[in-house]
Amino acid sequence: MAKLADPPRQSSPSDVTPAVQPPINLKNWIEENREKFKPPVSNRYLYDGRDFFVMVIKGPNARNDFHLVDSEEYFYQLKGDIKVRIRQGDRTVDHLVREGETFFIPPNVPHAPVRPPDTLGVVVERRRPPGEHEHVIFYCDNCGALVEDIDFDCGDIVQHFSQAMLDFWNDDARRTCKRCGTKVQQPEPVKPF
């Protein structure tokens, strides 16, 4: 008697192998995308995944805000030295991150990367689920008071983050300190240290 063939196997979601990206030559990728890095943040997605994303960020940036999110961030400095300003209570502490160094930001720590010209860094962040907000926070340079805390659901950090800053800088009422009347100015791109 001839043996009958096994019935076709039903596939399950666990049997589907996700597409795997081929290796990326980072140096070539940066060169191919060089013209796409634009202030104020100057960031581009290298990888935009389900659970996390990886950005390459090129200096100079043009920022005077602090970023706050409910998850860790990982920095690796590829080229040049940057400063990451951390807000601790009412004071700001600067951390120098040199070329080749890594730096970790814990959750809920207001931070402001300051990137001079010709610097390159990689930042890895957790993908925020819908409804988890992040913050772009502006303080008064004159008296240190909170000027505005922009609390928003950021679906696309490359696009929405920069737009939140531009909207703030273009609104005199929003960027005026209620304590002393000083206006938060739109910053120029960072100069070399």
Q: Does the predicted TM-score (pTM) go above 0.85? A: no
Whether residue 81 contacts residue 98, with contact meaning beta carbons closer than 8 Å, is answered with: yes
| Residue 100, both tokens | 């080749």
- Domains of the chain: which residue ranges? 26-169
Band (pLDDT 50/70/90 cuts) for residue 9 is low
pLDDT tier for residue 108 given thresholds of 50, 70 and 90:
very high
User: What is the pLDDT, as a whole number, of residue 133?
Assistant: 83
Mean pLDDT of 170-185: 97
Contact (CB, 8 A) for 24 and 46 = yes
- Structural domain 26-169, CATH architecture: Sandwich (2.60)
pLDDT in tens, 37-90: 988 888 899 999 999 999 999 999 888 999 999 999 999 999 999 999 999 988
Torsion angles phi and psi, residue 159, rounded to 5: -90, -55
Is omega for the bond preceding 23 within 30 degrees of 0, making it cis?
no
